[in-house]
Amino acid sequence: DHHHLVQQLKFGTGTSVRTITSTARIDGSILHFDQSTLPVQVLLLPDGASSNCPREVKPGHRFVLEIGWLYQPDHRQRLIRSYSDKGDFLSLTLVKEERVKRF
């Protein structure tokens, strides 16, 4: 289906490799991830930048805000800011990603 995106994220090593699969509805330059109790949207910006946030911040729910950018065609970095269910800042995480090509 060309109106949906399926994303698989694998992390860990050896016997502790985990996979998370999610599906987004594509609406122009916005990806809508609707499966969780706090649906999020990812805005795809020019030159490989992106912004990820909840569509609505609900009282009593933890949430994250994220920005990402490509710094090479197959390498991306993301800054993720986490907040508590009371809106308090909890953490800031830098994620470095590399696209793996399958042959």
Give the chain's domains with CATH numbers: 27-98 (2.40.128.20)
Q: Which residues pair with 75 in a beta bridge?
A: 72, 98
pLDDT of residue 25: 95
**pLDDT(58) > 90:** no
**pLDDT(96) > 90:** yes
Cα 51 to Cα 64: distance, rounded to the nearest angstrom: 11
pLDDT of residue 23: 93
pLDDT of residue 43: 97
**pLDDT(24) > 90:** yes
Cα 71 to Cα 56: distance, rounded to the nearest angstrom: 30
Cα 44 to Cα 54: distance, rounded to the nearest angstrom: 15
Its pTM stands at: 0.77
Q: How confident is the model at residue 89 (pLDDT cuts 50, 70, 90)?
A: very high
Q: Is the C-alpha dihedral spanning 66, 25, 99, 72 positive or negative?
A: negative
**Which one-letter amino acid corresponds to residue 31?**
L
Percentage of the chain with pLDDT > 90? 72
pLDDT of residue 92: 98
